[in-house]
Amino acid sequence: MRGTEMASPRARGLGAALRNARVEARFGLRELGRRIGVNPALLSNWELGQRVPTPVEVAGVLGALGVTGQRKAWIMLLARGVSGPSWFSAGSQADPAHYTTLVAHERVARSVTVWAPLLVPDLLQVPDYARLVVGPTLRDKEKLDQVVEDRLDRNRIVFGAGAVTAQMFIGSEALKNHFGVTGVMRRQMSFLRDLVGLSRTLTIRLAPSQAVSEGPFSRYTLKDTSDVVYCPHHGAGVFLVGKDAEPYTATIERLAKAAMSQQESLACLSDVVEQLREEADEERLADDAELTKLMTSEEPED
């Protein structure tokens, strides 16, 4: 039944969207319940994704909260498609439905395991690196700033008092200077190096990018002990549950066998930081030499 099915990724995303809208409108559960004639306990279940409201009920909530325009449109889109366990979310993480659903799972996770074969994991990116990663797909500076801010805000899952157990497997390709910006890459690698062994809840281990055939993914073990696997793709994201998520347990076991230890990873990251420091010094000397050449060159005679 729609009202009693186990929470699906899309149901959690819808619940998070409704809660965010209510909080921003400064409504309490009791006040909103009185306004639309719904028990506050049921409203809470909707927001947690434990029960699923009908599209008519969602429209009533949004009407009471004064939600209109594009925001109402994408929340109603979530409401009309919450059936089914796994879910494909069109649009990048800049898309509000995609982002809200992702954050909804991070907030209820009790542990997370990440495989990032080509780039530094979202949750461990420094601001300048995040801009290089996201920038090519977002030309609008204001949207880019918001996406980077949102990405940094997400790292509360691995840092701070509320941090959960997090296991990060980072591929060897992610250590390469893909963007050609040595200073940014050095800051990012230094940040990773400094994180190794710093936290009791965070584990960072390097592995060959070809260790497994699967692309990047994050597995969230939720407080109800179920697992959700999130697979980001270019311009989309897939949330897998149940039997669709089960094969990733074996994938994580293969990664754990192929990966370096934390101490070996620390040594490797330290070497990468040193190489990037040398590259930065060489680039600075080359720039200085070019500047000196320009300043000392004689102007051509008329």
From CA 86, how far away is CA 71, in angstroms rounded?
23
Identical fold for domains 1-84 and 86-286, yes or no, is no
What pLDDT does residue 142 have? 81
Beta-carbon contacts of residue 118 (< 8 Å; ≥ 6 apart): 171, 173, 174, 178, 209, 216
> Which of the residues in the chain have pLDDT under 50?
1-5
What pLDDT does residue 294 have? 77
What pLDDT does residue 81 have? 66
Per residue in 275-285, pLDDT (tens digit) is: 999 998 888 87
From CA 192, how far away is CA 125, in angstroms rounded?
9
CATH number of 1-84: 1.10.260.40
Return the domain boundaries, the chain: 1-84, 86-286
CB 51 within 8 A of CB 3: yes
Instruction: Please report the DSSP string for 166-193 in residue order.
Output: EEEEEEGGGGS-TTS-HHHHHHHHHHHH
What pLDDT does residue 104 have? 87
Per residue in 98-146, pLDDT (tens digit) is: 888 898 888 889 999 999 999 999 999 999 999 998 876 677 788 888 8
The pair of three-digit structure tokens given for residue 159, joined into one six-digit string: 């840092």
The architecture CATH gives domain 86-286: 2-Layer Sandwich (3.30)
